[in-house]
């Protein structure tokens, strides 16, 4: 397949993503893990900007960095014994899991290079990103849009019911 | 485009490693978020380079972000519940559903 050389910005973002992602799964202090996760999600938003998905980059920063990561930080702080360094955070599968994941990380790009030629599109991506997404949400994706609102309501009520203190 | 796919594969492998090896529930949830992001990078990269006539890949990625947020909310509520019942969130303690 065709290989286009990306710019220096991509390499910086890729290094940030991979290093912070690796720290997320290896650090012992869960609070530091959450901070590394925030950095990683920011860098992924940068990748979206490189790929001309501006609305998705903004949504990533708002939803992931603004909501999900803060939620994770709160949970880490509420479950206090996690933040201690002395806890062993990995189970006995670590070695074999590392081998499997390394094979995955090497094997998938190898297979991608072997798949032959993908036809790259002729035209450019639609330039009016936000406007087009708004049109899609109100026409082609009307049903998923409404279903997702029901899903969010269900998640909201479910979280409140689960985390509520039982009165005895 | 190959570089984007390789980056997504590496990020997915890191998330898989975290899911397989973490001992506590919050670590597993964070690794899951990494895997969601790897899938999203793939969707947006294919949208940019292969299927440029519509923004379907980006729409799919947006819905993935929303569903992942809902999943994180419910998952973290369950984590709080586990912590309250077992006084700890190690996965080794939580084996009441094991047959």
A82-97 residues labelled b (16+ CB within 10 A) or e (exposed) = beeeeeebbeeeeeeb
Judge if pTM exceeds 0.90. no
CB contact under 8 A, B72 and A151: no
Q: What is the pLDDT of residues B38-50, one digit of tens each?
A: 999 999 988 888 8
Mean of pLDDT values over A31-46? 91
Q: Please tell me the distance from the alpha carbon of residue A47 to that of residue A17, in angstroms, as a whole number.
A: 10
Q: Which two tokens stand for residue A86?
A: 């002395």
Q: Residue B99: is its pLDDT beyond 60?
A: no
| pLDDT computed for residue A99 by the predictor | 87
| pLDDT computed for residue A114 by the predictor | 82
Identify all chain B residues contacting A100, using CB atoms and an 8 Å cutoff: 16, 20
Q: Residue A72: is its pLDDT beyond 70?
A: yes
Count contacts between A and B (CB, < 8 Å): 242
Q: Please tell me the distance from the alpha carbon of residue A96 to that of residue A158, in angstroms, as a whole number.
A: 36
Q: Residue A91: is its pLDDT beyond 60?
A: yes
Q: Which of B12, B34, B81 to mutate to test the interface with A (most CBs of A within 10 A)?
A: B34
Q: Which residue has the tokens 């380079």?
A: B49
Nearest to A108 among B4, B9, B67 (CB): B9
CB contact under 8 A, B74 and A159: yes
| pLDDT computed for residue B66 by the predictor | 92
Q: What percent of chain B has pLDDT over 90?
A: 38
Q: Which of A36, A79, A84, A115 to mutate to test the interface with B (most CBs of B within 10 A)?
A: A79
Q: Please tell me the distance from the alpha carbon of residue A156 to that of residue B76, in angstroms, as a whole number.
A: 12
Residue A142 · residue A26 · CB < 8 Å:
no
Nearest to B77 among A98, A109, A163 (CB): A163
**Res. B8 pLDDT band, cuts 50 70 90:** very high
Q: What is the pLDDT of residues A116-158, one digit of tens each?
A: 667 677 777 777 888 888 888 888 889 999 999 999 999 999 9
Query: A160-166: long-range contacts (C-beta < 8 A, 24 or more apart)?
Result: A160/B77, A162/B74, A162/B77, A162/B78, A162/B80, A162/B81, A163/B77, A163/B80, A163/B81
């Amino acid at each position: 397949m065709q290989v286009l050389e990306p710019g220096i910005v991509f390499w910086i973002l890729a290094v940030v993503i991979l290093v912070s992602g690796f720290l997320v799964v290896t650090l012992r202090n869960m609070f530091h893990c959450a901070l590394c996760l925030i950095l990683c999600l920011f860098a992924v938003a940068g990748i979206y900007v490189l790929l001309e998905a501006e609305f998705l980059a903004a949504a990533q920063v708002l939803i992931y960095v603004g909501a999900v990561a803060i939620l994770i930080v709160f949970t880490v702080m509420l479950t206090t014994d996690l933040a201690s360094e002395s806890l062993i955070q990995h189970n006995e599968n670590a070695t074999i899991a590392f081998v499997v994941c390394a094979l995955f990380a090497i094997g998938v790009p190898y297979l991608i290079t072997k798949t032959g030629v993908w036809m790259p599109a002729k035209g450019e991506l639609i330039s009016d990103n936000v406007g087009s997404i708004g049109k899609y949400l109100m026409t082609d994706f009307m049903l998923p849009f409404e279903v997702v609102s029901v899903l969010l309501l269900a998640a909201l009520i479910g979280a409140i019911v689960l985390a509520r203190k039982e009165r005895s | 485009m190959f570089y984007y796919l390789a980056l997504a594969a590496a990020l997915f492998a890191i998330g898989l490693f975290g899911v397989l090896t973490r001992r506590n529930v919050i670590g597993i949830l964070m690794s899951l978020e990494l895997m969601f992001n790897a899938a999203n990078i793939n969707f947006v990269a294919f949208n940019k380079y292969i299927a440029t006539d519509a923004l379907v890949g980006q729409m799919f990625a947006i819905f993935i972000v929303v569903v992942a947020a809902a999943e994180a909310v419910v998952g973290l509520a369950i984590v709080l519940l586990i912590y309250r019942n077992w006084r700890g969130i190690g996965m080794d303690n939580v084996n009441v559903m094991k047959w």
